[in-house]
Amino acid sequence: MEVRHKHNQFAPLYNGMFSHPVWAARADRAQSITGLLLGLFIIVHLHFESSIMLGKQAFYTVVQFLEGGIFSESGHGFPILTQVFSVFMLLIVMLHALFALRRFPTQIKQWFKLREQMNVIPHQDTKIWFWQMLTGFILFFLVPVHLFTLIATPDIGPHLSAERVYHDNAWLLYLVLLPAVVIHAMFGLYRVVIKWGIFSNRVGLLKLAKVMVVYLIALGIASLVTYLVIGHGLALPVVPYSGV
């Protein structure tokens, strides 16, 4: 009870607003909704990115479709849509982080107490919550970097994306971002589904979450390696891919 009391008082930013039962319930719903949107987006996003493994043309086709190429006479998409969507996702991430910070331990003693509890009572969901906090802390710094890059330079394609990954060394960012975002998203979806009683088979759902973590990380690494191979073969300055 002592840790909970300190936790509820940790942030002057909130000014006690979320301590009211009504606002606390609304914050819980908002955190779950934004987390659900972000988790589902990660699944879709990594599959779209994996189209690079089918070839440059396949990835180019996917990008043009997502950027509204079907509404263009030339068939080329509108990069501004990438900027707009990136801004929207950044706002969702900020909202999710705002509501999630209510439950984040802010004192080193609280971290020690949590670790002590995990050692004494090795409950599976407590471990998941710990990994949620750890990956959430990492994503708090890395996700804005990724989104700001897309907002500043929205041009996407097999050559330009490979240039970022290989020549601009963005693979270093993605090597940390990928496992952190997948673990956070999949276990986050698990917790949302259990929390709101959408699915009652906790054991089966947890197994599915773990399988998805391994699958999505493997998928992301394979895509990243493909970008590295393409980038290695590109001469500078890089000429954007324009289709077959």
In this structure, the number of other CB atoms found within 10 A of the CB of residue 92 comes to 16
**Residue 146 assigned ligand-binding role:** yes
Let me know: does 42 contact 130? Beta carbons within 8 Å.
no
**Residue 76 assigned ligand-binding role:** no
CA–CA separation, 113 vs 108, rounded Å? 9
**Residue 167 assigned ligand-binding role:** no
Q: Which has the closest alpha carbon to 166: 93, 227, 109?
A: 227
Instruction: Kindly list the distances between the CA atom of residue 152 and the CA atoms of 84, 156, 168, 190, in Å, as whole numbers in the listed order.
Output: 11, 12, 15, 33
Q: CA end-to-end span of the chain, whole Å?
A: 64
Q: At what angle do helices 202-232 and 158-166 cross, to 10 degrees?
A: 90
For residue 120, what are the contacts with CB-CB under 8 A and spacing of at least 6? none
Q: Which has the closest alpha carbon to 229: 221, 239, 218, 237?
A: 221
The one-letter amino acid at 200: S
**Residue 5 assigned ligand-binding role:** no
Annotated binding-site residues read: 45, 96, 146, 184
In the annotated binding site for heme b, the residues are: 45, 96, 146, 184
